[in-house]
Structure 1
């Protein structure tokens, strides 16, 4: 059987808030993105995620409809030469988006596939559907909300951002999505004291019963404390901190952080900083995991790095069915 799918990317501003998507039909599609990226990165990520999402059926041929000549030529024409030259172009300059291309190269092994160019914005139904979902993901990141990621391949539950709590109710395979370490990202700007004054009340939602608003969600057999600790440890992993798509799922849309210097960090500034500076390994020494309410857990722990130890507190809240980090504060130990 041949799997026919359209893959597309979108960037609002190029670079700017960006999204990617692949689409087979209304029951089989997947989308994601980053707060800041390029259209080409979105196009490549859509192809990469399509290969990853179908990796469990390597015997099936992929027919990939793509409106990007850059992606098609990169994968089918230029990549062998780039590899021979150590991922450098003929002029000796480094290949752009090399991390995504290397990931695609690894996924191609043992797969049967063809690329077919289609004209974008010309009424092709699969291309239009992928484009619509990629733009929706980019728009979501522009607005600071989590994008709709779709059912995935074969009608599986939403793949991206599945927490341990959600896994109790859905059979979903985890997908890894990344943005190249060298991708253009906005620098974190200092936030004024006025912004701190205007920040929403962190604890106003703690007494709400999240299950009352979502009757289809029942408590998991996995404790909330264990779930949140696992997610915090995941967020400390260098590969996750460099993955804007994943950190965008773990951080609440209203996330704020008070850093060791006393500076207030917004969600976007934190994600950018993690992607740029979060490659050092961080070890977590748990102090306590306290259930503040039915929909919130407060973690306190000590982080260890080569630079020393920091006492940290993280407030995780249920956002729908997913646990997301709402507030974080760190204080360096003397």
Structure 2
């Protein structure tokens, strides 16, 4: 029988008091967190603890519902390449959240699993239940009290929480090169949680919109450019354009556009237009993709829709470790 569970994370301030949770039903869920962490740490920890909590049932497939594309892509797409490179990114720097990812990699051995992306904060029952519990755990740490750890998975062994005083510190892998403040593991956490806090000093300006963030990649390397094309396709998706939270995450704070009509649009005007437009399928045909310096990429492509075709150029920039669309321009084809 396939075990279907939602996994989610939350951070109040990102970084800040953080929580994680997985949820099957009211009798089968777990939650935990830390006094200081990030959304991505919570998302990863929820997945890791779900695998550990079901380790006594190795033959049962896991179907994990997750609203974090970062987690899904990390586990299902990028992790093999990171391992081949010694757990390094294309710029030679260590992968973010390394210890959690290594533990997930070990927990996957011999397991059958699938991931399904679900839209966050959209009324999905299991996702909402996991999100509520993750946020409750973060709120508990904010109030300096122990969170409700939940009933756990039936038949699972009792997790070891004796390492509550253990500490682990690492140097930040951000541009600041400054060390990260040590974080103490809380004994109230349901499992021994080893934290790599290499992104705590880089709060995302858009993290208050939605508890999900894309991974930071260096601007050089093929996987980084593939991400740029993927994000451009995502921005053309009618469902994404209708979601002001996700669309806002993709646009740079100083975004501007010169449309096919010659009009200049501000970021807010574009978001307002997205909310009002009729859904339409738009095909993207890549013409070129070039790096401009170390933190920018220029994508040119042809868009084809029921309204016709246009030649377009998009300037993507790394902003706080995230690829965001800085400028866009379109010219209608005759």
Q: TM-score, normalised by structure 2?
A: 0.51
Structure 1's 60 and 119: CA in aligned 2 closer, same or farther, altered over 3 A? Answer: same
Do the aligned partners of residues 69 and 37 (structure 1) sit closer, same or farther apart at CA in structure 2, a change above 3 Å counting? same
> Aligned runs of 1:115-194 on 2, under 5 Å?
115-154=115-154, 173-175=158-160, 181-182=169-170, 187=181
d(CA) in 2 for partners of 1:183 and 1:149?
30
Contact 1:19 1:134 in 2 (8 A): yes
Shift of 1:246: 2.6
Assess, with a 3 A threshold, how the Cα gap between structure 1 residues 247 and 118 changes in structure 2: closer, same or farther: closer
Contact 1:20 1:46 in 2 (8 A): yes
Query: Where is the helix percentage greater, Structure 1 or Structure 2?
Result: 1
**CA 1:89–1:180 in 2, change beyond 3 Å: closer, same or farther?**
farther
Seen in structure 2, the aligned counterparts of structure 1 residues 179 and 72 have a Cα distance that, compared at 3 Å, is: farther
Partner of 2:187: 246
Instruction: Report the Cα offset of residue 154 of structure 1.
Output: 1.8
The 8 Å contact of residues 170 and 180 in structure 2, kept in 1 or not, is answered as: no
Contact 1:33 1:138 in 2 (8 A): yes
- Number of equivalences: 184
Alpha carbons of structure 1 residues 180 and 105: separation in structure 2 relative to 1, 3 Å: farther
Question: Separation in 1 of the partners of 2:141 and 2:106?
Answer: 28
Q: Matches of 1:180 and 1:66 in 2, distance apart?
A: 27
Distance across 2 between alignment mates of 1:121 and 1:65: 13
4+ residue segments displaced more than 2 Å: 175-188, 245-249
- Quote the residue 1:65 is aligned against: 65
Q: Equivalents in 2 of 1:4, 1:115: separation in Å?
A: 10
1:54 is matched with which residue? Answer: 54
**Other structure's SS at 1:154 match:** coil
Any conservation in 2 of the 1:98–1:180 contact (CA below 8 Å)? no
Q: For residues 98 and 145 of structure 1, do their structure 2 counterparts lie closer, same or farther at Cα, with a shift above 3 Å needed?
A: same
Q: Distance in 2 between matches of 1:248 and 1:112?
A: 26
1:63–1:243 CA distance, 2 compared to 1 (3 A): farther
The DSSP-based 3-state class of the residue aligned with 1:9 is strand
Q: Look up the match of 1:82.
A: 82
Q: Give the Å deviation of 1:30.
A: 0.2
- Aligned residues of 1:20 and 1:43 also touching (Cα < 8 A): yes
- Determine helix, strand or coil for the equivalent of 2:40: helix
Indicate if the aligned counterparts of 2:169 and 2:180 stay in contact, CA closer than 8 A: no
Q: CA deviation at 1:82?
A: 0.3
Alpha-carbon distance, 1:181 to partner: 3.8
Please show how residues 237-276 of structure 1 align to structure 2 within 5 Å. 244-246=185-187
Alignment deviations for residues 167-188 of structure 1 (CA, whole Å, 9 cap, x no partner): xxxxx61156999743989859
- Distance (Å, rounded) in 1 between the aligned partners of 2:171 and 2:148: 23
CA 1:180–1:85 in 2, change beyond 3 Å: closer, same or farther?
farther
CA RMSD across the alignment: 2.9
CA 98–129 in structure 1, closer or farther in 2 if over 3 Å, else same: same
Q: Counterparts in 2 of 1:1-334, with a 5 A limit?
A: 1-154=1-154, 173-175=158-160, 181-182=169-170, 187=181, 244-246=185-187
| Cα distance in 2 between the residues matched to 1:146 and 1:106 | 28
Partner residue in 2 for 1:286:
none
When residues 101 and 73 of structure 1 are mapped into structure 2, their CA distance, relative to the original with a 3 A threshold, is same
* 1:243 Cα deviation after fit: 6.0
Aligned partners of 1:43 and 1:68 also within 8 Å = yes
Map of 1:232 onto structure 2? none
